[in-house]
Amino acid sequence: MTTAVEQTGTTWREAGDYHLRLDGNQIIARNVKGRVLKSVPAKVKKHEAFEQLEALRNFFIQHEATCRGTVENWFLTGRSVPVTVVCGVWRDDAWRRTLQDLVVTDGTVGGLLRGADESGLHLVDLEGESVIIPRTGAATITLPHPALMSDLADWREFAVELGVHQGLDQLYRHTTEKPGDPQERQRALDTYRSGHYESGGYLRNRARDFGCTYTSDGISLKVAEGGHTVTAHLDLFGHGPQTPADLGRLYFLAEGTRLDPAEIGPVAWSEGIRMAEHIWAGRTIAEDEDS
């Protein structure tokens, strides 16, 4: 369902000799003949109607980011989400785009989230059967991490058959299994120590755009594992966004204490490696370095 605010943005507004409206996250214009133009004329951008639509567009972009960030937080922290909350936000397009077709479970039944209404959450399970998680005051769901899904391959195959596109990267999220050998674990954590960025600012933006926390001494990401918050931390050596920066060692912390690699759980390990690989992929490549 499209909200009243969204309908306001998609309604043509008069702007002098032109009309404007939102098309997705873009402002489009049409002339007096009704022809939609390739771009908004410069003079129209000074009109009050354009400024109002620009503010509305920015609101939608921020709202979408907030919805996505909230759901990703639920996902990474393993939070139990009340069914009433999901039902309550479902009518909002931004929330629905993020939540729809995620695998959810109440601990008893699970499936792809296809809909939500006053009766509860409507799912499709691996057998293709429709199931419902009733809407009650006590009912909650979680969004399982793929590193913990023993039937992940089946879910991926099923999602392909249904043509599912997830608003949050869950089923097709890149996962990495922690090596059983201690030396292999250590090598994995040391992989990123030679990474170099000519631009600390680019590194900062790349980290933040990926949902990581950037500080002067490192890049980090928090996940929940076994009832505890675990922080994956990639050391950083630099002097701010205007100077080069070098990557250091990847390690994990729980309650401020560095974890032995053997103690790191599958979700924290997978997410930490995923973060480090993303940062590593954006490094400055030297001419004599194989990409």
Distance CA(291)–CA(282), nearest Å, equals 11
Helix (H) or strand (E) holding 191: none
Minimal CA–CA distance to 223: which of 75, 79, 73, 77?
A: 77
Distance CA(212)–CA(34), nearest Å, equals 45
Q: Residue 210: which residues within 8 A CB-CB, separation 6 or more?
A: 275, 278, 279
The single residue listed with the structure tokens 């790349």 is 206
pLDDT tens, residue by residue, 122-143: 999 999 999 999 999 999 999 9
Radius of gyration over every alpha carbon of the chain, rounded to an integer in angstroms: 23
User: Does residue 45 lie in a domain region?
Assistant: yes
196-213 average pLDDT score: 94
**Are residues 206 and 264 located together in one domain of the fold?**
yes
Lowest-pLDDT choice from 27-41, 94-108, 126-140: 27-41
Out of 127, 162, 197, a domain closes at: 162
**Are residues 132 and 202 located together in one domain of the fold?**
no
**Are residues 48 and 124 located together in one domain of the fold?**
no
**Are residues 37 and 89 located together in one domain of the fold?**
no
How confident is the model at residue 213, as a pLDDT? 95
171-180 average pLDDT score: 96
Minimal CA–CA distance to 109: which of 142, 77, 148?
A: 142
Distance CA(202)–CA(197), nearest Å, equals 8
In DSSP notation, 123-150 reads EE-TTS-EEEEE--SS-EEB---GGG-T
pLDDT tens, residue by residue, 51-63: 889 899 899 999 9
User: Does residue 234 lie in a domain region?
Assistant: yes
How confident is the model at residue 15, as a pLDDT? 87
Amino acid (one-letter) located at 276: A
Helix (H) or strand (E) holding 120: strand 120-124
User: Does residue 96 lie in a domain region?
Assistant: yes
User: Does residue 33 lie in a domain region?
Assistant: yes
Amino acid (one-letter) located at 118: E
User: Does residue 287 lie in a domain region?
Assistant: no
- Give the chain's largest Cα–Cα span: 71
pLDDT exceeds 50 at position 81: yes
pLDDT exceeds 80 at position 245: yes
The answer to whether 283 and 245 are in contact (CB under 8 A) is no
pLDDT exceeds 60 at position 7: no
How confident is the model at residue 11, as a pLDDT? 84
Q: What percent of the chain has pLDDT over 90?
A: 75
pLDDT exceeds 70 at position 6: no
Instruction: Provide the 8-state DSSP code for 171.
Output: T
**Are residues 142 and 231 located together in one domain of the fold?**
no
Q: 108: pLDDT confidence band, cut at 50, 70 and 90?
A: very high
Out of 162, 192, 222, a domain closes at: 162
**Are residues 128 and 188 located together in one domain of the fold?**
no
Query: Could you give the count of Cα atoms lying within 13 Å of 6 in the half-sphere of its Cβ?
Result: 14
**Residue 239 token pair:** 């002097």
**Are residues 125 and 214 located together in one domain of the fold?**
no
Q: What percent of the chain has pLDDT over 70?
A: 95
**Are residues 196 and 262 located together in one domain of the fold?**
yes
Provide the mean pLDDT of the chain: 92
How confident is the model at residue 288, as a pLDDT? 62
How confident is the model at residue 132, as a pLDDT? 97
Q: What angle do CA 208, 214, 216 make, to 5 degrees?
A: 150
Q: Report how many domains make up the chain.
A: 3
How confident is the model at residue 1, as a pLDDT? 45
**Are residues 83 and 43 located together in one domain of the fold?**
no
**Are residues 251 and 205 located together in one domain of the fold?**
yes
User: Does residue 73 lie in a domain region?
Assistant: no
Parent domain of 61 = 13-67
User: Does residue 289 lie in a domain region?
Assistant: no
**Residue 79 token pair:** 């939070």
The answer to whether 262 and 186 are in contact (CB under 8 A) is no
User: Does residue 251 lie in a domain region?
Assistant: yes
Distance CA(285)–CA(291), nearest Å, equals 7
Three-state DSSP at 119 gives coil
Minimal CA–CA distance to 267: which of 151, 173, 187?
A: 173
CATH code for position 270: 3.30.310.100
**Are residues 156 and 200 located together in one domain of the fold?**
no
**Are residues 127 and 186 located together in one domain of the fold?**
no
pLDDT exceeds 70 at position 150: yes
Out of 162, 192, 215, a domain closes at: 162
Q: What angle do CA 273, 142, 263 make, to 5 degrees?
A: 40
Taking residue 192's Cβ as centre, other Cβ atoms within 10 Å add up to: 21
pLDDT exceeds 70 at position 46: yes
Instruction: Provide the 8-state DSSP code for 286.
Output: P
Q: 5: pLDDT confidence band, cut at 50, 70 and 90?
A: low
